[in-house]
Chains A and B, each alone.
Chain A
């Protein structure tokens, strides 16, 4: 079955500390993984996608097919990083446009 798991509902870190938001997935085909972010009173928006291998706002995420993980990392957290983060999986590489999300992790960066 297709599934995205984010084990942490809430993650609190101090400003300047490293951040790692965990995401594990279950998918029988070739998935495409994404991280979305929702800042307070804003729409959900794309943060980054595994296929781009890019760093956005200092965040990176590496797809580990062996561990079926796509953890989001940032070496030094900023207060403006406080938001809700969702990991998502699309099956479009396998011929389906089914697009599912995890339950989300709220990141709080403390001053």
Chain B
């Protein structure tokens, strides 16, 4: 069966420090991968999505970047965190056949 893992689950970082959130999918190949930020009252904001290795679509110009070095690995990064980067980040995947998204457990980032 397919599974999706995100880590770390919780992260507290100082302003100006780098960030790396990792997402890995198991049990499927060539998934479409997504990064969202979830905030109360603002829903799920699509940040990046990827349909293949090295293919990244950016939806919101900001302080973050994404990479897909392997078929089932999706990484969210920042070189220098801002206070406004604090939030709950969700990774998700879909096969492209049914359209259903499967979500990870999420990573809560607090920037101080």
Contacts and interface: CB of A to CB of B under 8 A. Distances in A.
Contacts of B104: 43
Contact of A86 (B43, B59, B96): B43
Interface string A5-31: 010010000000000000000000000
Contact of A103 (B41, B57, B96): B41
Contacts of B57: 98
Contacts of B100: 34, 46, 49
Interface residues of A, number: 23
Interface of B: 32, 34, 36, 41-44, 46, 49, 51, 57, 59, 90, 94, 96, 98-101, 103-106
B99 A51 contact: yes
The 9 closest A-B pairs by CB, nearest first: A103-B43, A101-B44, A44-B103, A104-B43, A46-B100, A97-B32, A43-B103, A101-B43, A100-B46
A46 B93 CA distance: 12
B61 to A, nearest CB: 15
A32 to B, nearest CB: 5
B59 A98 contact: yes
Contacts of B59: 98
A92 B104 CA distance: 21
A86 B51 contact: no
Interface of A: 6, 9, 32, 34, 36, 43-46, 49, 51, 86, 88, 90, 92, 97-104
A98 B49 contact: yes
Question: Which one of A6, A51, A104 has the highest number of Cβ atoms from chain B below 10 Å of its Cβ?
Answer: A104
Contacts of B36: 101
Contacts of A100: 46
23 contacts: A6-B43, A9-B41, A34-B100, A36-B101, A43-B103, A43-B104, A44-B90, A44-B103, A45-B103, A46-B101, A49-B99, A86-B43, A86-B44, A92-B99, A97-B32, A97-B49, A97-B51, A97-B96, A98-B57, A98-B59, A103-B42, A104-B43, A104-B44
